[in-house]
Amino acid sequence: MSTRAHWTNRIAFILAATGSAIGLGNIWKFPYIAGVNGGGAFVMIYLACILAIGVPIFIAELYIGQKGQANAITSFEITDKKGTPWQIAGWMGMLAAILILSFYSVVGGWILDFEYRSLLGEFMSQTDEQIQGTLGGLFADWKRQMFWHFIFMTLVIGIVIAGVKNGLERWNKILMPALFAILILLLVRVTMMDGFSQAIGFLFSFDASKLTKAGVLEAVGHSFFTLSLGMGTILTYGSYLSERERLPRVAVQVAFLDTLIALIAGVVIFTVVFSFNLEPGAGPGLIFSTLPSLFVKMTGGSILSIAFFLLVTFAALTSAVSILEVPVAFVCEKYGIGRKKTTLLIGGFIYLMGYLSIFSFNIMSDVKILGLNFFDLFDKISSNWLLPIGGMLISLFVGWRLGKSAVDSALSDYPPFARTTFLWSIRVLAPLGVVLLMGHTLGWW
Ligand code: TRP
């Protein structure tokens, strides 16, 4: 496998893993689903899931990739044996990758549209009502959405064809900290707004009565989605790790940064929501109807708005690339098809599938499957079911199939108690957590 590219150093790898984790999940999805699910109690479960389920599975995934040095499916065969049934987790991951990217890219397109409007200075002369109506207009305009979705997918495909190393490493170092800086700036600004304390109360006070069964599952699913877990992304990235790396440390660092960004985005957005008496449960359009109103009120708002949507575009691209990388790495290595051809083929297919998500907001808005439009259906099936089940299989695979000796070798730099804690986290705690929370949603208890 000496022909495979490797990360130049561990910082490059951490940046890439963070780049994958931090994306629309933090800035768009977390605030919107926290709002739909009533805030505090949802946030608490989500945080608990990150710690007790996300971090151990993150380590397990990195381990399989690092040992297997191959794509998500082949790595199972290399670490176990050819034809191992555990590779089913890899196959589920392929499906999840395609479903997720098909709607993720549509949302990436909305971000591009808002970047374009920011460049034109459109928001600066608008009232709050007009700003809040903008997304509705975009939702109705499927041709415009198709256009931006096309641009977004083209960028993703281009970057994946260029390869993991040259494509992103260099930019990650500059743009991720810049995104962080701009969020801090927004955070400082919203502390001066009326709705700030209400936003803090909404996000951080635990009120179990607001939580529904579906909300619990959503919190579990989102802990996977936001850390890019459960479908082989982190596994695939781990497979580009050459040196012996202290995996737990990487996992904790990525989880910490990812959570921090989501919480800051949440506080900013809900402060705007409460300051302008908007609806916290507004759904997928939440950040689009709130943030431009905030920019308009800030000095240098038009520049901020341009910078913000640009940086979010970048964050979304690094995540989207890590999603597409999973099926591409597999098909290239397994079937020996060229990287360029594979990327174009899979990327093109995903682009077309995205149309179903676009049409969910206009011409096909009455088409419901299991009570959901395509956009919600693809999100819920992949985030709330495929990822947690995939993650559970990954965790059981490392914990029981590869077992204690694998864990000892992965964590050889750590003291015995840390290894034991990790072993039982992936053997019992994380899988049981997923089963209990899923069972709860299904009404088993
Ligand atoms: N974690 C990314 C986000 O929050 C999205 C993402 C990238 C992802 N790779 C993934 C989600 C793999 C699930 C699985 O935006």
Give me the DSSP letters along 122-167. Answer: TGGG--HHHHHHHHHHHHH-HHHHHHHHHHHHHHHHHHHHH-HHHH
The pLDDT assigned to 201 comes to 97
Q: Check residue 243 and give its pLDDT.
A: 59
CB 183 within 8 A of CB 268: yes
Overall size of the chain counted in residues = 445
Band of the pLDDT at 74, cuts 50, 70, 90? confident
**Does residue 171 surpass a pLDDT of 80?**
no
Strand partners, 372: 369
What is the DSSP secondary structure assignment for residue 338, as one 8-state letter? -
Q: Which atom of ligand 1 is nearest to the CA of 231?
A: 14
Highest mean pLDDT among 67-71, 87-91, 172-176, 266-270: 266-270
Tens of pLDDT, residue by residue over 53-63, are 999 999 999 99
Task: Identify the residue with better confidence: 147 or 236.
Answer: 147
Residues contacting residue 236 through CB under 8 Å, at least 6 positions apart:
65, 71, 72, 322, 325, 326, 329
233, 325, 383: which to mutate for ligand 1, most atoms within 8 A of CB? Answer: 233
Over residues 393-407, the mean pLDDT reads 92
pLDDT of 238 reads: 85
Tens of pLDDT, residues 123-148: 998 998 899 889 999 999 999 999 99
Check pLDDT > 60 for residue 405.
yes
User: In this predicted model, what pLDDT tens digit does every residue of 359-373 receive, in sequence order?
Assistant: 999 999 999 999 999
Q: CA 305, CA 27: separation in Å to the nearest integer?
A: 14
The rounded distance, in Å, linking the Cα atoms of 103 and 200 is 30
Query: Where does the pLDDT of residue 82 fall: very low under 50, low under 70, confident under 90, or very high at 90 and above?
Result: confident
Ligand 1 closest atom vs CA 319: 7
Contacts of 385 (CB under 8 A, 6+ apart): 221
Please tell me the distance between residue 25's alpha carbon and the centre of ligand 1 in angstroms.
Answer: 7
| CA dihedral sign of residues 170, 1, 238, 104 | positive
- pLDDT band at 208; cut points 50, 70, 90: confident
Distance (Å) from CA 322 to ligand 1 centroid: 8
Q: 10-441: which CATH topology?
A: Hydantoin permease (1.10.4160)
Instruction: Please report the pLDDT score of residue 2 as a whole number.
Output: 42
The 10s digit of each residue's pLDDT in 83-120 is 888 888 888 999 999 999 999 999 999 999 999 999 99
Question: Residue 96 is inside which H or E element, if any?
Answer: helix 88-120
Sequence ranges of the domains in the chain = 10-441
Q: If you take atom 9 of ligand 1, which residue's CA is the nearest one?
A: 228
Q: Which of 267, 273, 260 is nearest to 180 (CA)?
A: 260
- Ligand 1 centroid, distance to 324 Cα (angstroms): 10
The residue-averaged pLDDT of 46-51 equals 96
User: Higher pLDDT residue, 34 or 410?
Assistant: 34
Catalogue the long-range contacts made by 313-316 (C-beta closer than 8 Å, 24 or more residues apart).
313/108, 313/111, 313/112, 313/115, 314/171, 314/175, 314/179, 315/19, 315/22, 315/23, 315/24, 315/26, 315/27, 315/175, 315/176, 315/179, 316/23, 316/24, 316/104, 316/107, 316/108, 316/111, 316/152
